[in-house]
Amino acid sequence: MLKGHLTLRQGSFLLESGPFEIETAGVTVLFGRSGSGKSTLLRAITGLDKHTRGTLSFNGERWQDGAWRLPTQKRDIGFVFQDAALFPHLSVRGNLEYALKRAPKTGGPGLESVAARVGIAHKLDQDVVTLSGGERQRVAIARALLSHPRLLCMDEPLSALDWRAKGELLTLIDELAHETGIPVLYITHAPIEVERLASRVVFMANGRIERIETLREALARPDSPLFDEEGPVSVLEGAMGQTDADGLTPFGTDQVRILLTGACGEKRSATRLRILARDVSLAMDEPRGVSILNHLPVTIERIDPAHEGRVTVACRLADGQLLLAEITAFSRRQLSLEPGASAYAMIKSVALME
Amino acid sequence: MLGLTPGEWQAIWLTAKLAGLTTLILLVLSAPLAWWLAHTQSRLGDITAALVALPLVLPPTVIGFYLLIVLGPQGFVGGRLEDMGLHHLAFSFEGILIGSVVYSLPFAVQPLREAFSAIPPRLLDAAATLRASGPDRFFSVVLPLARGGMLTAIVITFAHTVGEFGVIAMLGGNIAGETRVVSIAIYDHSQAMEYAEAHRLSAILLGFSFVTLFLFYAINRRAMSPLKP
């Protein structure tokens, strides 16, 4: 639990967080547009800026009180910077040893096993300047883990990477957060990364914390800042099933089953499905004779006011998760859709988040 | 050896001692000063930078003159020393050592300042998040990354002190074994029309300076390269 109220002036920019309490378990994403104060807040939380003022405690331990500040090196935090910030005068191994040498001797996983886990075991004796962007971030992650942090901070660690490296590292970060149980504070301005990783989202704007909510709450809001030019999005959680003879793989929970096609069956560890509201249409009766595979019974929960002739309909699935559908205001009138009504959601396409 | 007289050997040894001690003192003094100059945003930084650079533009005679006034028997420092029963510092090795430190100060501060400024602040942040304390960060990150600047500071300071003349002539005079460094000895020989001796010492200084600078550039090129990410 991070609890406090921080202010920090950097040039003409003023961070004025307002009082906050952030539950630190799983991945907490600091989300906001560039210039909203995400990085400044993270610098204030980690104690990297001596001009920070206010109060802050982590699990009851005092980190900031007025102008007094517990030095960063005593906070037991790990930090993965946007540009990795590897030490150029040390090899990959040297960078990892730097962390290990200064970590408490609690007998955690060793250098070799952490290097192997993040996929850089074969790069240990290389010069860090020869690494690719993705490899640099892997080394930075390994280095942070080897210092045995109680809180792992990541400041847009993927922003400088190509899409393939981004995907691989998202998976790695997600898995590591689960495996190690170390709470993560993750900065991004990319909604897709939030939907992939977050259990909780801290929304920032104009140097303030606007609100803190779970990913589910954040995605249930019609005006969620997570919705970009693709429009509203739902994220369904579940697990992968066995691929059948037709090449279809079920995903979902006991009550909800969505069939996936193609190579999805190989992504065994996926736990989240991303569905654009505009890819979901509604029918009053169970559809028959349509090519769309996935149609699920839902209860209409809420209908948001029309915007440009379209409405977003929040539908409750049998397992309690929320699925958004975007339909025209005209269809809504034709179908006489009202909250509380039963309907069928037809899903045209889904994206497995892996 | 080399057909040098004991007096000339003495001058060479004295020069090496002066340059070596000056370099050592300046490294210790300049590192914190250069670090502060590299990171301060206050007006005081500009004033200090200008003061540090003064020896670059002032005639050595001016520096020597003022130091003579301050360190001499009637001076602020020299006078106090006399009052305490000690000797004033004009015409002494300690005096020319102080003069050399002042005279070569910009040559030590400037390369260090540039090297310190070139270190990305993120690396120090990263070290702090890896539990490195302030002094630990200085020795484990700053110094290794500033080694090119350190090498430059050492070589240029040493060589510049070896080539010093005006300040020593003003402040130290010409006392064998105390203030008669090679450059003074050369001046002395040429005034006495002992051209063979002047030639020998001049050739030694020329050779030393060239070899030093050549080695410096050769080493520096290799030492610096892996630090450019």
A137-180 pLDDT, tens digit each: 999 999 999 999 999 999 999 998 998 899 899 999 999 999 99
Q: What is the pLDDT of residue A20?
A: 95
> What distance in Å separates the CA atoms of residue B227 and residue B229, rounded to the nearest whole number?
6
Determine whether the interchain pair A48/B125 forms a contact, defined as Cβ–Cβ distance below 8 Å: yes
| pLDDT tens-place string over residues B124-151 | 999 999 999 999 999 999 999 998 899 8
Would you say the C-alpha torsion A129, A132, A135, A140 has a positive or negative sign? positive
Looking at residue A108, its amino acid is: G
3-state secondary structure chain A: CEEEEEEEEECCEEEECCCEEECCCCEEEEECCCCCCHHHHHHHHHCCCCCCEEEEEECCEEEEECCEECCHHHCCEEEECCCCCCCCCCEHHHHHHHHHHHCCCCCCCCHHHHHHHHCCHHHCCCEHHHCCHHHHHHHHHHHHHHCCCCEEEEECCCCCCCHHHHHHHHHHHHHHHHHHCCCEEEEECCHHHHHHHCCEEEEEECCEEEEEEEHHHHHHCCCCCCCECCECEEEEECEECCCCCCCCEEEECCCCEEEECHHHHHCCCCCEEEEEHHHEEEECCCCCCCCCCEEEEEEEEEECCCECCEEEEEEECCCCCEEEEEEEHHHHHHHCCCCCCEEEEEECCCEECC
Would you say the C-alpha torsion A289, A290, A296, A299 has a positive or negative sign? negative
Calculate the average pLDDT of chain B: 90
Q: At what angle do helices B182-191 and B6-39 cross, to 10 degrees?
A: 130
Would you say the C-alpha torsion A200, A205, A210, A216 has a positive or negative sign? negative
Q: What is the largest CA-CA distance in chain B?
A: 67
Which range has the worst mean pLDDT, A189-198, A222-231, A248-257, B186-195?
Answer: A222-231
> What distance in Å separates the CA atoms of residue A229 and residue A1, rounded to the nearest whole number?
34
The answer to whether A313 and A281 have CB atoms below 8 angstroms apart is no
Q: What is the pLDDT of residue B229?
A: 36
Query: Does B227 score more than 70 pLDDT?
Result: no
Residues in chain A with CB shorter than 8 Å from the CB of B226 are 88-89, 127, 129
Q: Does A281 touch chain B (CB under 8 A)?
A: no
Average pLDDT over every residue of B204-224: 83
Which of A71, A74, A129 lies closest to B229 in CB terms?
A: A129
> What distance in Å separates the CA atoms of residue A352 and residue A223, rounded to the nearest whole number?
24
Query: Does B169 score more than 80 pLDDT?
Result: yes
Query: Does B1 score more than 60 pLDDT?
Result: no
Which range has the worst mean pLDDT, A60-64, A260-264, A280-284?
Answer: A260-264
The set of residues, in sequence order, having a beta carbon less than 8 Å from that of A167 and lying 6+ positions away, is A354
B104: which 2 tokens? 């070569």
Would you say the C-alpha torsion A226, A227, A230, A234 has a positive or negative sign? positive
Average pLDDT over every residue of A57-82: 95
pLDDT band at A116 (very low <50, low <70, confident <90, very high): very high
What is the ipTM metric for this complex? 0.86
pLDDT band at A9 (very low <50, low <70, confident <90, very high): very high
Which of A73, A86, A144 lies closest to B128 in CB terms?
A: A73
> What distance in Å separates the CA atoms of residue B170 and residue B155, rounded to the nearest whole number?
25
Residues in chain B with CB shorter than 8 Å from the CB of A86 are 126
Q: At what angle do helices A92-102 and A133-146 cross, to 10 degrees?
A: 20
Q: Does B127 touch chain A (CB under 8 A)?
A: yes
| Residue whose structure tokens are 């002036």 | A9
In eight-state DSSP terms, residue B77 is H
> What distance in Å separates the CA atoms of residue A251 and residue B133, rounded to the nearest whole number?
49
Determine whether the interchain pair A81/B126 forms a contact, defined as Cβ–Cβ distance below 8 Å: yes
Residues in chain B with CB shorter than 8 Å from the CB of A127 are 226
Q: Does B5 touch chain A (CB under 8 A)?
A: no
> What distance in Å separates the CA atoms of residue A283 and residue A334, rounded to the nearest whole number?
11
Share of chain A above pLDDT 90, in %: 73
Tally of CA atoms within 13 A in the half-sphere of A152 that contains its CB: 25
Which of B126, B227, B229 lies closest to A79 in CB terms?
A: B126
Write the burial class of residue A99 (CB in 10 Å: 0-12 exposed, 13-18 middle, 19+ buried). Answer: buried
Q: What is the pLDDT of residue B87?
A: 86
Average pLDDT over every residue of A291-310: 89
A309 φψ region: left (φ > 0), alpha (ψ -120 to 50), beta (else): left
β pairing state of A200-205 and A208-214: antiparallel
Long-range contacts from B35-39, C-beta under 8 angstroms, 24+ separation: B35/B112, B35/B116, B35/B142, B37/B109, B37/B113, B38/B113, B38/B114, B38/B116, B38/B117, B39/B116
Would you say the C-alpha torsion A154, A158, A159, A161 has a positive or negative sign? positive
Q: How far is A99 from chain B (nearest CA, A)?
A: 6
Determine whether the interchain pair B131/A147 forms a contact, defined as Cβ–Cβ distance below 8 Å: yes
Which of A78, A83, A89 lies closest to B227 in CB terms?
A: A89
Long-range contacts from A301-306, C-beta under 8 angstroms, 24+ separation: A301/A339, A302/A222, A302/A339, A303/A332, A303/A337, A303/A338, A303/A339, A304/A222
Q: Would the pTM count as exceeding 0.80?
A: yes
The set of residues, in sequence order, having a beta carbon less than 8 Å from that of A185 and lying 6+ positions away, is A24, A28, A30, A42, A45, A151, A152, A153, A154
